[in-house]
Structure 1
Amino acid sequence: MRLKHVTVSKYKSFLTAQDVEIEEGVTRLVGKNESGKTAFLEALAKFNYFDPKDERFSFDKTRDYPRNELKPYEQKNPENDHKVIICVFELENDLLESIKNDVGDNVFTQKTITISRQYNGTLVYLDLKVNQLAFNKHFLSKYTVPTEKQSTLEKSATLNDLYESLSVDADLKSIANTLKETYIDKAFPKWSNSLEGYIAKVFISPNIPEFWYFDEYFMLPPQISLNKFQNKKIDVNFTQEQYDISSALFSLAGVDVSKLITDNNHEAFISELEATSNSITDQFLEYWSTNSNLEIQFEIQTVPNDKLLNIRIRNTKHRVTLPLKNRSKGFVWFFSFLVWFSRIESHENVIILLDEPGLNLHADAQNDLLRYIDEKLAPHYQVIYTTHSPFMIDSTKLHEVRTVYDSNDAKIGSLISDALEEKDSATLFPLQAALGYDIAQNLYISPKNLLVEGVADLVYLTLISDRLRVLGKNYLDDDITIVPVGGLDKVATFISLLRGNKLKVSCLLDTFTDQKGKARMKDLIQEKIIKDNKVIFFDEFTSPINPSEIEDMFLPEEYIALFNAEFSEFADINVGEISPNYSVIQQINKIIGVKRFNHYRPANYLSKNPQIIESLSDITLNKFSEAFERINKALK
């Protein structure tokens, strides 16, 4: 089962219900400190924590319900049954096939299932539905039932009704007992529909993903008192989190602490610990470019009434060792994370929650951690992490970002939205910074910006604007900067982020052929992030060609001449092969048999041959002149 959607409400700072779409791989929550990022991860962890005995990850209305609303809630809701978190899961095909093989075709056909966790701890299945009649037919087909009774039995409304009908007939009582033992007795008790209860208990419940949570508090302590560990003496110097991470280390190494305490020969135990640490260190150094000369070492120190395990870090280059606490927090965090992660590494049905991962890491090391998440974790697990660092955001994956913002409204609380919908400039800052490198490589941002798909658009528009200026026709205003965003799918993101800096933005775009991209643009317009009249498409000037691209602004013979002159590797295309009613790019692709050629090369050829620009037809120039008039007006 994969998590698809989460709704959280009435939990700490989340005063109103917040709906969050979850990515199949990595979902990245970005927001300022105290915005509610950690609260969201906590609520998720408490939905189904991997260690059910850990009371820190169970809901408590006194601790978790919004404080200002707690008393009215307690008075109106003594059952404490508020659905604090609702998760929508997608069932994978193997699980659906197992259910079908058990209960029959067309009995349970849902691709998704919605489950909530209440403040009282109860899991509630909100939308589980079955086709009882299809089950009856499937079940009875396994047995010999008199024809005159078959029809009546198949119409039974529930498993219990079917059982009662079978039980009253002595000849069918054994079938009734099989039904009861196989399905009714194995269903969740007190379910009004036993078949739903059976599917929920036998198939859904065991496959609900567990949530695994890690933050900076789960750090390996530099020194572990073995007596405190064995007796689980939790105090300010040995916290519950330190106990948990220490337990993970001993478990991973296969070390029996009670034997370690009583045995006077510690070498075998140290050997096991170091073998484990070496294995983790090798894995960790693959994603730790900062310093490859570090390794973990252990030593046992005997003190009165106790033994201490000291953890030290050796620098093999400088040949010195220091206590763990004297090394960088970033190194200790990363190593501790790998130790803690070892507890669940063998489990596939786990969703990983990371709160501010790599907070103490240098920018390069954060990039290493980001690479580790994307390359090592995401292929096997869903990962949800929080950050306010631009170095923990991949600018090519901004669609995976959700922003968390504290509205400061006592009735609304924290808000979660897609990055495109966020309006708070401080919340957007990490995303804008993450885009900085891409922007620096491609463009200069000005107060007025015209977004286009790629560099070819920039070249064409610049060259033809200059030609139109000479001819005294409409050209692109001098204070407008053309911004190639690197692909049509990035346009919506750039619009949102540039708007966050209060810049004027318009765009001149190819016709959307991807429905998802079209929907994202429509959402921006509906959210009033950009006005409808500032989104301009080439097909407004190229009728009857639709969909169209900038190349369709030229007469077919003009663009084919550019293509033939630039691409010697392809046979020349006869303009007679090109219909003036359809996109020239799509037709060229079909003729040359490739999905996409380099659109920049014909534009570059045009820039090197100014005489071609001077020979462009009035029809072509007038199309561009009309487009520039629209753009200038949109950015006034």
Structure 2
Amino acid sequence: MRLESFRVWNYRSINDSGEIAVSRITSLLGRNESGKSNLLRALHSLNPIDGFEPLKPIKDFPRHRRLEECKEDTPVLSTTWILDDDDKETLLEKLPRATEIFKVIIDRSYGINRTVSFPELKSIHFDDALIKNKVKKVAAAVRAAAQKHENTSLDTAADAFEAAASVTTVCETWATQAAVAAKSLRTALAGVDAELTDKQEEMLSELEDLANSIASDKDALQNAKSWVISSIPKFIYLEEYPELKGYQDISTFLQRKSQNQKNEADKNFEKLCKVAGLNPERLQEHLSQNDHETRNQLANRASAVVTAEIKRLWKDRPLKIRFNLDAQHLETIISDPTSTYDVEVNLNERSRGFQWFFAFYITFSADTDGGRAENAVLLLDEPGLYLHARSQSDLLRHFEDDFSNQIIYTTHSPFMVPTHALDSVRTVNIAEDTGTTVTNDPAGDARTLFPLQAALGYDLAQSLFIGHNNLVVEGVTDFWILSAVSAYLSEKGRTTLHPELTLTPAGGAQKVSYMVALLTSESLNVLVLLDTERDSKTTKEELLKAKLIRDQNVVFVSEAFVSPPKEADIEDLMDTAVYESLVQESYRTELNGKTLQLNANIPRLAKRIESGLSELGIPFHKTRPTRLFLKKMASEPENVLPEQSLEKFEALFALINERLDKQLVRVSKPFEG
């Protein structure tokens, strides 16, 4: 089974989280104290690895509500699961009418019970009119046989059958009565050696099959639900890195193990031994036999196995793992190989970041490589918190490449945001009146969205040198709008930006020169798209004066107009009424009860909006109407991009493509040839 979505109610900071879609790897992004951990804890409670238990109202029920409101049946969690082919086959064996079941819903409340439902399960077809018609025909056939055999007992049996099998008010009651009556009828027919015609026999068999299926369905349904409960993947919740000591006393460990008194560190030491291929009992046995050579060979092999994996996964710098056996003790030593010598340090003395990564690798490798977590859902609270930024990115790749498990993790780090799979990011917000809520599309306040914005910015910066042909635009909203419109025009088979052109937002007009210098220093083809206004013209002059770019490689937005205006932004390519409506909708709360007055004498639309909002004491952020524009582009593009706007964008794209084509026929360096 694969988790498709979940929803949390009445749990700590959560009144109603909303439906949360789940991918193979899902990131819950939110600021501190937004309730991210509570979402994981609630989900974990469905089937924890240590066993299902009732929740504790005093601890888990929202503190701002009266404790008397919390009952055993107060809902906490609803989960929707997708069945794989094997699941569907097993379910069909348990419940024959589950032929069209692809999903199952599993809920839990504060009590000890979990409930299962099949949203796609169709009820048994029960047509009372058709049933009564068949019953009458069968009864009539039996009465005819009674006359033929001159047997009154058949008449009596036919009457009893019709009376019992014609009562169809409650299908379960009918099934019980009809099954008994049909059996009696067959006994009566056999008693006088009477037979029904094939058609009559078929109708009686259909009635019997229907009665038997209804009668057995209750138990079959219960068996199916019990099977579902037993098949729920285990949830493993990790909020701190597991305790894994760098110095182990094997003898003491074995003693505690024999007395069934293992602590958490002992359990994690067992996992280390499993991953490394070490057997503590055998190590002690070789020690008692003074077979130090074999012990050292085993330790050496284990060191090589773990070192190979750590080198593959830990990208910060190459490290070597060595397991050193000293009598009763096993020491885990980490070294930084250099060209001349190795600096060896005990695991306990390494950075917290590496200790977390090493413990995470050991414990989950042990559990997912044929261990108890092989079919588990991993719930990770702020994984990699102590890791360097690049190492956090490596951890994400580790999740994707080395796990088949579903993983749901929380973060507020930009480097744990999967920018290549933003559809797997869920934003977690908290408000005083609604509590913790989750949106499947990025939404929230500035603090909530900052890691996402930072991640996108970082990802763009890291990918600058991937594209050989670059179009530098002033800001991220320009990037959003141009990318979305170009993609839409591509779907329509119309003029789009050149497919080999990489859009690069500079982060503001004042940073365009720096971005161009950075790109041209790598001998990349660079075009610049600037708003048409005084500062942008100054930027062009600076670029030309510094010989960073040719005159033809600078494009102004106004050049997309048939009659070029003196000033224009990207937003001026959009329909004025459409953009104003986007502003009204995205600023609905701030504008409640207020009238936005726009000065038609201000030439640029965005500046006109900014001035009007400023008079009302409202700061203007272009990202707000632009995000709404992107949302509407996904659902109603024709309403935000009328034909006149499309033609302006097409004109701009055609101009940019023309300038790029001219650049491509030149030699690679900007001022050669």
* TM range, smaller chain: 0.5 to 0.7
Conserved? CA contact 2:473–2:529, under 8 Å: no
Per the alignment, in what secondary structure is the counterpart of residue 339 of structure 1? Answer: helix
- Residue of structure 2 in register with 1:327 after alignment: 350
- Residue of structure 2 in register with 1:111 after alignment: 102
Conserved? CA contact 2:167–2:174, under 8 Å: no
Are residues 1:421 and 2:437 paired?
A: no
Change (3 A) 1:553 1:334: closer
Q: 1:339-381 CA distances to partner (integer Å, 9 max, x unpaired)?
A: 211213336532222221111111121121111112222xx22
- Residue of structure 2 in register with 1:445 after alignment: 475
Match of 1:537 among 625, 641, 646: 641
Q: 1:71-106 CA distances to partner (integer Å, 9 max, x unpaired)?
A: 3335xx2xx2222111111222442244346644x5
Change (3 A) 1:198 1:264: same
Q: 1:183-211 CA distances to partner (integer Å, 9 max, x unpaired)?
A: 999x9xxxxx3332122123x23432222
Q: Distance in 2 between matches of 1:332 and 1:172?
A: 76
Amino acid at match of 1:199: A
Match of 1:125 among 100, 116, 119: 116
Per the alignment, in what secondary structure is the counterpart of residue 28 of structure 1? Answer: strand
Q: TM-score when scaled to structure 1?
A: 0.63
Amino acid at match of 2:233: P
* Deviation of 1:147 (Å): 7.2
- Residue of structure 2 in register with 1:95 after alignment: 87
* Gap runs ≥5 in structure 1: 137-145, 188-192, 303-307, 484-494, 523-531, 543-547, 563-599, 610-636
Change (3 A) 1:375 1:153: farther
* Deviation of 1:429 (Å): 1.3
Per the alignment, in what secondary structure is the counterpart of residue 288 of structure 2? Answer: coil
Match of 1:231 among 256, 259, 273: 256
Q: Distance in 2 between matches of 1:258 and 1:180?
A: 61
* Deviation of 1:272 (Å): 5.1
* Deviation of 1:324 (Å): 1.1
* Deviation of 1:439 (Å): 4.8
Conserved? CA contact 2:322–2:332, under 8 Å: yes
Q: Aligned pairs, how many?
A: 493
Q: TM-score when scaled to structure 2?
A: 0.60
Match of 2:333 among 297, 300, 312: 312
* Deviation of 1:255 (Å): 5.8
Change (3 A) 1:275 1:412: farther
Change (3 A) 1:320 1:90: same
Change (3 A) 1:156 1:181: same
Q: 1:529-568 CA distances to partner (integer Å, 9 max, x unpaired)?
A: xxx9xx84252456xxxxx8944889xxxx7xx9xxxxxx
- Residue of structure 2 in register with 1:474 after alignment: 565
* Deviation of 1:224 (Å): 3.7
- Residue of structure 2 in register with 1:4 after alignment: 4
Per the alignment, in what secondary structure is the counterpart of residue 34 of structure 2? Answer: coil
Q: Distance in 1 between matches of 2:57 and 2:258?
A: 27
- Residue of structure 2 in register with 1:391 after alignment: 415
Q: 1:410-438 CA distances to partner (integer Å, 9 max, x unpaired)?
A: x432232235221x111111111111135
Q: Distance in 1 between matches of 2:320 and 2:83?
A: 44
Change (3 A) 1:326 1:132: same
Change (3 A) 1:221 1:209: same
Conserved? CA contact 1:289–1:365, under 8 Å: yes
158-167 or 383-392, larger mean C-alpha shift: 158-167
Q: Distance in 2 between matches of 1:283 and 1:87?
A: 35
- Residue of structure 2 in register with 1:292 after alignment: 318
Are residues 1:361 and 2:360 paired?
A: no
Q: 1:423-456 CA distances to partner (integer Å, 9 max, x unpaired)?
A: x111111111111135554543289888212655
Q: Distance in 2 between matches of 1:120 and 1:279?
A: 46
Q: Distance in 2 between matches of 1:311 and 1:180?
A: 68
Conserved? CA contact 1:390–1:434, under 8 Å: yes
Are residues 1:345 and 2:369 paired?
A: yes
Match of 2:661 among 602, 605, 609: 605
Which has the greater radius of gyration?
Answer: 2
Alignment of 1:365-514 (within 5 A): 365-377=391-403, 380-407=404-431, 409=432, 411-422=433-444, 424-440=445-461, 441=464, 442-445=472-475, 451-453=481-483, 463=555, 465-467=557-559, 473-474=564-565, 476-477=567-568, 503-505=621-623
* Deviation of 1:228 (Å): 5.8
* Deviation of 1:27 (Å): 0.8
* Deviation of 1:170 (Å): 7.5
Amino acid at match of 2:437: L
- Residue of structure 2 in register with 1:336 after alignment: 359
Q: Distance in 1 between matches of 2:50 and 2:299?
A: 24
* Deviation of 1:517 (Å): 5.7
Are residues 1:194 and 2:219 paired?
A: yes
Q: 1:238-271 CA distances to partner (integer Å, 9 max, x unpaired)?
A: 9954343223234445766567668635856676
Per the alignment, in what secondary structure is the counterpart of residue 474 of structure 1? Answer: coil
Per the alignment, in what secondary structure is the counterpart of residue 66 of structure 1? Answer: coil
Q: Distance in 2 between matches of 1:518 and 1:281?
A: 47
Cα RMSD over matched residues? 5.1
Conserved? CA contact 2:5–2:79, under 8 Å: yes
Conserved? CA contact 1:219–1:336, under 8 Å: yes
Alignment of 1:581-600 (within 5 A): none
- Residue of structure 1 in register with 2:242 after alignment: 218
Alignment of 1:159-170 (within 5 A): 162=175, 166=179, 169=183
Q: 1:163-200 CA distances to partner (integer Å, 9 max, x unpaired)?
A: 67546738999x9xx99999999x9xxxxx33321221
Change (3 A) 1:478 1:298: same
Q: Distance in 2 between matches of 1:298 and 1:164?
A: 77
* Gap runs ≥5 in structure 2: 128-136, 140-160, 188-204, 465-471, 487-496, 504-527, 532-553, 575-585, 588-609, 611-618, 666-673
Amino acid at match of 1:133: I
Q: Distance in 2 between matches of 1:367 and 1:399?
A: 17
Change (3 A) 1:17 1:275: farther
Alignment of 1:567-578 (within 5 A): none
Conserved? CA contact 1:448–1:505, under 8 Å: no
Q: Distance in 2 between matches of 1:450 and 1:22?
A: 24
Amino acid at match of 2:63: R
Change (3 A) 1:251 1:517: farther
- Residue of structure 1 in register with 2:232 after alignment: 208
